[in-house]
Every structure is written in C-alpha cells, then in structure tokens.
Structure 1
Amino acid sequence: MRIHFLPVAALALCSCFRNPATGKMQLDLLSESQEVELGKQAKQEAEQAYGIYKDKPELNQYIADIGKRLSAESGRPSLPWSYEIVDDASVNAFALPGGPVFITRGILGHLNTEAELAAVLGHETGHVAARHSANQMSKQQVAQIGLGIGSILSPAVASAAGAASAGLQLLFLKYSRDDETQADELGFRYMTKVGYDPRQMVPLFEMLDGVSKAAGAGKTPEWLQTHPDPGNRLEATQQRLKTELKGSPEGMKVERDKYLSMIDGITFGEDPRQGFFKGDTFYHPDLKFQWKLPSGWAHQNTPQAVAAASPKQDAILQLSPAGKMSPDEAAQKLFSQQGFKAGQPVNVKGAKLARAFQAQTQQGAIEGVLAFFSWQGNTYLMAGYTPQGGLSNYANTFTDSMGSFSELTDSSALSVKPGKLKLVKIDRPMSVTEFHSSHHSTAKLEEVALINGVQQGGQIPAGYAKQIVGGTQ
C-alpha cells in the first residue's frame, strides 16, 4: 500500500497555521483531510498487524466512552476519533494521525484506576491533537518506503528487507522529547477538564518506570521505544500538580473499583492459543500445526506472521497466511509483483509448490526460497531469504526447516490456556508478599507487585487486588 505525500518541491505551497490543540504556530505539511486519510489507512493495517481484543465487548465500549469525553476537549473534536484495545501483551499505547488511538490489553492489566486509564488515553489524544505523528511522518517521507515485496513480509521483519508499509511505519515513529512533554501537558489538561484526578498520572509513570526496570538492562519496553522519557517526566508532573491543580482535588474521579471490575478476567501475558515457542519449535494450538525453526535463531510471533532471524542477522525465515487462494494462485500472484523473479523448483517436504526466487528491495537485492502449504482449507506461505549471494549458505537450512511444518498432535500443547487476570476481594490492607503467598498466582511476586501498583515491600489497599491464574508463565 502506498500513501502519497506532497512532494518536497511543493512545500513552498504549504502554509503555517495555529494548532487549535496547542495554540502554537506550526508548518502545515499535510492538510487535515490528508492527515485523516493517512490515519484511516494506517488504522486498517494496525488492526491487521495486532488484532483487536474482542473477549470483553463491554471493556471496548468503556474505553471508547472515556476516549470520547477526552477527545471532546482536544480542540479538534470533529476528527473521526476511535479508541480500541489491541490484542497485545506488551505495556503500550499508540496513536495515529487523524484520530485512531490504540491501547494494549497488556497495559490495561497494569493500570489500577480509571483515572490512570484516562491519563494514558489523554496522552495519546494529545499526540493526535498536536499532529505529532503526522508531522514526524511528513518529515521522514516514509511514504517512499515499500515495494511489491512488502505484501509477503510480516511487519515484524519487513524493515529488515526495507519493505515495511507506510502505515505500519507510523506505529514505530519515535516522538521527540518535546512531543512527549507536550502530550503530557495536553493529557493533564484533558483528564482534568473531564473530572479525573490528575494526581493519578504519578502512579502511571511509576508503573511505566517499574516495567522498564523489570525488562532488564539493554531492553527497552515498547512504550519507551516510541515515547522517550523527557528526562524529568515524574518531577514535571508533580510540579504541574502544584501549579495547575486549582482548588481542592476532592471529588475528582479516581474510580479504582469500577476500573478493576471492568478488567476482571482479561487475558494477561502472551496468549498461547495464538501460538507459542518451546525451544526452537513453534506450536499453534488453534490451527493445530507445529514448525521447527533453526537452532539458535531469534524468533517472534505476530498476528500476521511467525518469523525467525539468523544469529548473524543475515537471513530470515517466516510463515504467513496467504488466504483461500490455491498454492498455484498464490504463487502466480506473488511472482507477478514488480521486483520479483522466480527461480528453479525446490524440493520441500509437504509443500504443494516451492521455488527459489530473487527480489529487489530498497535496501538491495535479496534471494531465497518460497514454499506454499495447504492447511485446513487455507494456503500458507513460508519464505526464507537473505541478501543476494548468501543463499548457498542457507539453502539447506531453509528447506529443512520448511519441511518440518506438520500437524500438531501433542495433547499438552493442544490444551494450553492463556493466563487471566482475576480479582480477589481483601477486607484489609495486605502486604504484597502476604497476598502472593495466600492467593495462588502463576505470576512471580515481582509481577504481582507491579500489576497491583505497589513496591515489593508495600501494601495492597483493602478492596480488590489482582492475581494471575493459568497461562504458561
């Protein structure tokens, strides 16, 4: 999918305008209609890439209702705003130009009040209202990315071949620290205007800091990958509370019990029914197949594809659905794309059709093997590729791994269940250590403390507390 921007030569025709959300003058690189269209296309790709969480329809409506109230205060209420939960275990939220806002079920499981939720949604609403992602996209001219090969590569690995679509690139644009500061300010303003206690921004940022520390050295949580900490976020929020919170905050909404009751039973952590790794083997209980990946390769499972990268990062294997087309039809469609060249047939166990191929991407030429499998009435494409000249090093690795695609019959793998967040009523404050020892949870003590918003030595207040049951933690 290609999204066209104003060419660089046309920038002279652009004008400055006063952003109604921020009150500041900024360069108008995109008209509002272009911004909305950009977001509309990117929204469809985001929904396909992540999947929408549908297990609790009432929770989706709850999120949408809060978002609607916040967007009404954004200065841009006429945008086609939408607020959706994506079926992703990471602690994250993101916004797209023109109105779409997404929040992961992962971050929902880590929040403890409706006011914290409003702070997250308000922050993302601020990014849209201030046109942060639209401006970042315009500056980077990401629309030029993406060739025909983009249609077979998963978002998780497409960038390795220089073929990520423009829409999905929007999800990975990194905001500037100034953008983050501004979104914090706008989120503070919006949530306060609709009656939420902005002091709940403090435990939100403390939770995000806890997630960052729990990730360990060298690992950056998804939120911070695109939302860099301006450096003094917590201190700035506390100062803002002193200077801008006028009058008594009593009576402002927090809604702890209401929020917790809404997320009771939400899926927590990775959902093994959608596929999981055990060692170097990928199992998909719902689709009843298994696939052995090369030993030592890094791997990832997304709603669109399963992908693995070689230790040297010079080869990729991936499996993705090709729909209801027959293997022959899928192959014909693929090889008719610009930049593709079919090679000799290849022998891959179980495949209906397999061929070598060459393709040209923005990052250079690649070559590899494509294999098409029929499974449960659908066609699946398995692709192994490497920079041109490297196929001889990986040809056998590709075909051996592809040939391991087979039916899953292991009853233990077929019967796995996802973890669920469960509420427990406690009639007195309880230390997190006591709670963890007296209420069985499949999560570790550190995670139970984090999702309940307390330090490991702290106390969970009387009322509802969270535990995790089931799953493969």
Structure 2
Amino acid sequence: MNGTRRINTGFKTGLAFSILLIAMGLAGCSTSGSGSGIPLPPTAPRTVAESQSDRDHAKLVAAFGGEVRAPSAHQLLNDIITRLVQASDRPSETFQVTILNSPVVNAFALPSGRIYVTRGLLALANDTSEIAAVLSHEIAHVTLRHASQRNELQARSSLITRVTENVLNNAAEAAVVRDQSRMTLASFSRSQELEADQAGVKVLARAGFDPFGAPRLLTALGRSANSSDTGRTSGGDIGSSHPATSERISQAVQAARRANAPGIGEADRARYLATIDGLAYGDDPVDGVVRGRTFIHARLGVAFVAPVGFTLENTSQAVLGASADGGRRLLFDAAETPNGQSLEEVLRSTWKDTIEPGSMETSTINGLPVATALSRGKEWHFRLSAVRIGTTTYRLIVAAKVGSGDLDGMFRQMLASVRHVQPDEARSVQPLHLKIVTAQNGETSETLAARMPASERPLERFILLNGLDRSGPLKAGESYKIVGD
C-alpha cells in the first residue's frame, strides 16, 4: 500500500508481522523495562550477537504494543522457567521472559533465549501447568536449535511481503500467494512443532507439572482459532504455520500418558487465576479498540461501524474486515499525505489500479471532507474513499466479489458511519480486564456470562476463556474468569 503509513492501531499480527519474526530467526511458534527472567551473569562481556538480540527484542516489543508490567505474572513465569530449565537436558541454558501487550493468543522464542508470551495467551490458559506447557514447548525450540534450521524462511518472506502489499488491491492474486506461502511454512515447521511438543511434555512432567496441561492448552488453542469471536485476534498464524491442532492434541495426550498418569503433577489453578486477576483483556484503547462491529480510536479521534456480518481485525498497519464467506472485505488506514494534497490526489496516488473515469466525487459526511471513487477488477470491485479529520487523512476501501451483493449501498452506509470522536467520548473508552469470580450454588455459564455486558457474544467468550463444554455445569466454590471494565 504505497503512500500509506501505519495507523498505529494496536494488535500486531498477520503477514506484515510474520516478516519481522522471520527476519529475526524466530525459534518458537504462535499459540502474543526489559523482560524479567533468569538473568545473564552480570560480568559477561557483551557480544555482537547480544547486541543484535537486544535490537531484535526492542523490535518485537514495539511491534506488539509494548511490554505488560505485571510483577506477579512475571514472577510466576520466572518460577516456572527455573523449574523447567533445571529439569531439561540443558540446565545451563538461560532464558528471559517478556509479557507482550497484545490480545493475540501467541508465544514464541528467539535463539538468544528470550521467550515472549502475550497477555492474550495468559488469558486463555486456566492453570499453571497449561502456561508451563507453553514455556516448555518454547524452551524446547531453543534447546533443539530449531532456529538454525529455519534460515530458508528468510528467502520466502518476499511472498509474504507481496501479500501484505496487495491487501484488497489485487485480492485474487493476494489470496493465491497467501495460501502458497502458508502451505510452505506449514510443511517446513511441521516436524519441528511436533518434536517441540514431545520434548516439552517430557520436561513438563520431569519438573513436576501436570503433563496433561499440554493437551488441555492445545485444545483451548484449537477452540480459540476456530472461534468467530476471537478469529480476528488469532490472525490464522496457528493454523497457517503449524500442524493441525487435532494432531498435536492427540500426540500430546500420548506423550502425557507415557510421562505420568492423569491427576499426577501440579496444576495449581488457584495460584494461576489469582495471578492473572485484573490483567488487561482485549484491545488496548490507546491503540484503538474493536467492540463488535465498531472500531474506535480514542487517541486519533476516529470511529466507524462495519456492515452487519463483518468481523474486524485491528492490525498494526490497518483495520481489516471481512464477511464470513470472504466475499466482502474492507480496509481502513491512514495515508501519508504531503501538505496541500487534495483528497482526490490521495486516492489517485495510493491506489495502484485504474480508477473508473468519471467516478471521482467529493462531498461532506458528518462534517468531514470526503473523496470517493470506483475501481473495477475482473473478479473484484472496489469502492474507495479518503476522509480528512484534522490534519490526518484516512482511507476506507470496501471490496466485493463481482455479483456478491450491493457494494455501493454497503460502502455508503459504512462511509456514513465514519466520524470524529470528541474528547469526552474518547475518555470514556476504557480497557477491559479479567476478573476472577467464585461460582455460587445454582450459577451457570449463562448467569456468569451475563456479568460480561462489555463483551461481544459473552456466553461464547466465557466458555472459551474457561475451557468449558457448553453443556457442562459449573462447580459451586470454583473460580472462573469473566471480562469486565
């Protein structure tokens, strides 16, 4: 998307971020001051590799919206890592863990021994053994030296770059390239992921944790990836670059059975839930938030509403949206515009394909100057717009496959929702947090989910967060996670 700049909107996922991970020699996988952990000896001299590691660390932290300052959570993760490393075949290895400020369900490691866990993943786990399973898996990637085997991924990053550059601009080509690159990455990492799973479960059991925490967490990951409620935050990375979750679960269960009998090993659900009580959940309002079909960016002072049936994804480059069948898509981003450049010129300079002659129009919507245009491709049609709020120009692009519906009506309805957010409304946008509550006699998933009015599809979210079956009863006196202000 030449001529555009990042809207700085929050979640750091998708293909653009994949390039960053590949370039840095990512050793781990997707399952989101400096990170605390087992420190390097203070007298150790700094090397070129360590300096590069620090630069890579800074890039990752910045790309994921910063680091979460949660001392109790850091302490728990450090305690877990200490036990895991001591139980591993390489007890002299050193690791540092950082909690990333992202709602994405994600964890990965760099060859340097830096491990990253997103707050989105912390929210999904339900006990200490489950998060220990993630850390053990990532430690295995490092100790098995998987990063050194992934060098060829660098050469493939050009494919992913092409996908990023062609979002909505050439949808058919982008889809083909995306599928090809994902298949290549998946086939390359398949054996490594399964190997790290097996090694991770062994170390998990040796360290005294419940080895069945691994298949439980993998089950939660599978549900998260398949959930329409969380699809925008998972970004597809798990499914695109790793073996099928069902296969990983099956093999993890077998490994857990070989390691220990069910019920043997520490899970420590109480400590874990107490640790994540109050943890920020979902999008950070500083970087824009998605609330159902509404996107609102308090700092930039802009908001819009997506059409019915769309799911929004708040990425580092733009807000993306798509209908369930993929036949309709949208993009909302900020354009880098020279002083004095008209809105018509913005559309002409930032759109690569042909704009239909005579389709360019200017108008005012919600008191904001707007330019709109039409572009027709062989399989997709596009409605383009540039909207100016203060000194910032935003692009709204809506695409539809030929014959898939009323593109013009959908576009105009959405464009009419773009508005300037006033300071009072901006201040009212507050982050969501996890809350740990105790179920009382007679309480059900429905009654606890009803205490989550700020969440989209609260019952589905409650079931997913707590790893429950929809028909399963709650246990009186048991602690559960809900989401609130």
Root-mean-square deviation over aligned CA pairs: 6.1
Matched letter for residue 197 of structure 1: D
What displacement does 1:119 show? 0.4
Greater mean deviation of Cα atoms: 451-460 or 107-116: 451-460
Inter-partner Cα distance in structure 2 for 1:93 and 1:384:
32
Q: Taking structure 1 as reference, are residues 265 and 371 closer, same or farther at Cα in structure 2, changes over 3 Å only?
A: same
Supply the AA of the counterpart residue of 1:291: F
Q: 1:441 aligns with which of 451, 457, 464?
A: 451
**Mapping of residues 67-466 of structure 1, within 5 Å:** 67=81, 70=84, 73=88, 75=90, 81-88=96-103, 90-95=104-109, 99-132=113-146, 135-136=149-150, 138=152, 141-145=155-159, 173-174=185-186, 176-208=189-221, 210-211=223-224, 222=236, 223-229=238-244, 231-245=246-260, 253-269=266-282, 274-276=288-290, 279=293, 282-291=295-304, 299-308=312-321, 317-321=330-334, 347=362, 349=364, 371=386, 373=388, 375=390, 379-382=392-395, 384=397, 405-409=418-422, 415-425=428-438, 433-434=443-444, 437=447, 441-442=451-452, 444=458, 447-455=461-469, 456-460=471-475, 462=477, 465-466=479-480
Greater relative contact order (Cα < 8 A, sep 6+) = 2
Instruction: Find the residue that maps to 1:198 and give its secondary structure.
Output: coil
Q: Give secondary structure in 2 for the equivalent of 1:59.
A: helix
Percent of aligned pairs with the same residue?
25
The corresponding residue for 2:77 is 63
Match of 1:115, SS? helix
Distance apart, 1:263 and its partner CA? 0.3
Number of residue pairs the alignment of both structures matches: 425
Kindly state the Cα deviation for residue 84 of structure 1 after the two structures are TM-superposed. 2.6
2 CA distance for matches of 1:332 and 1:190?
60
Equivalent position amino acid for 1:130 in 2: L
Q: Taking structure 1 as reference, are residues 37 and 396 closer, same or farther at Cα in structure 2, changes over 3 Å only?
A: farther
State the 1:108 CA deviation.
1.8
SS where residue 157 of structure 2 aligns? Answer: helix
Instruction: Describe the shift of the 1:203–1:69 C-alpha distance in structure 2 as closer, same or farther (beyond 3 A).
Output: same
Going from structure 1 to structure 2, the CA distance change for 1:62 and 1:50 (only over 3 Å counts) comes to: same
Work out the CA distance in 1 between the residues paired with 2:162 and 2:240: 28
Task: Supply the distance in 2 between the matched residues of 1:292 and 1:435 (Cα, whole angstroms).
Answer: 30
Deviations 1:156-197 (A, max 9, x none): 99998759xx9xx99x94364433321111212333444433
Amino acid at match of 2:277: D
The answer to whether the 8 Å contact 2:107/2:117 transfers is yes
Asked if the contact 1:197/1:254 (under 8 Å) is kept, the reply is yes
Q: Are 2:126 and 2:269, in contact at CA under 8 Å, matched by a contact in 1?
A: yes
Using the alignment, how far apart are the partners of 1:159 and 1:130 within structure 2? Answer: 39
Structure 1 residues 448, 97: CA separation in 2 closer, same or farther (over 3 Å shift)? same
Which amino acid is the alignment partner of residue 243 of structure 2?
P
Aligned residue for 2:134, secondary structure, equals helix
Quote how far apart the aligned CAs of 1:305 are: 1.8
The CA distance in 1 between the partners of 2:482 and 2:98, in whole Å, is 26
Which segments of 5 or more consecutive residues in structure 1 lack a partner in the other structure?
Answer: 7-18, 20-32, 359-365, 388-392
Letter of the structure 2 residue corresponding to residue 112 of structure 1: N
Question: Contact between 1:419 and 1:468, CA under 8 Å: does it hold in 2?
Answer: no
Does the C-alpha gap of structure 1 residues 433 and 232 become closer, same or farther in structure 2, counting only changes over 3 Å? farther
Unaligned runs of 5+ in 2: 1-15, 28-46, 376-380, 401-405
> Is 2:210–2:267's contact at 8 Å kept on the other side of the alignment?
yes
Following superposition, the deviation at residue 262 of structure 1 comes to: 1.0
Q: With the length of structure 1 as denominator, give the TM-score of the two structures.
A: 0.62
Deviation, structure 1 residue 258: 1.8
SS in 2 for 1:112: coil
| TM-score with structure 2 setting the length | 0.60
Deviation of 1:117 after TM superposition, in Å, equals 0.7
Superposition deviation, residue 234 in structure 1: 4.3
Deviation of 1:99 after TM superposition, in Å, equals 4.3
SS at match of 2:480: strand
| Pair 309,347 (structure 1): closer, same or farther in 2 beyond 3 Å | farther
Q: Hey, what's the Cα distance between the residues in 2 that align with 1:396 and 1:209?
A: 36
Q: 1:57 & 1:220 partners in 2: Cα distance? A: 25
Name the amino acid aligned to 2:68.
K
Distance 1:57 1:158 in 2: 46
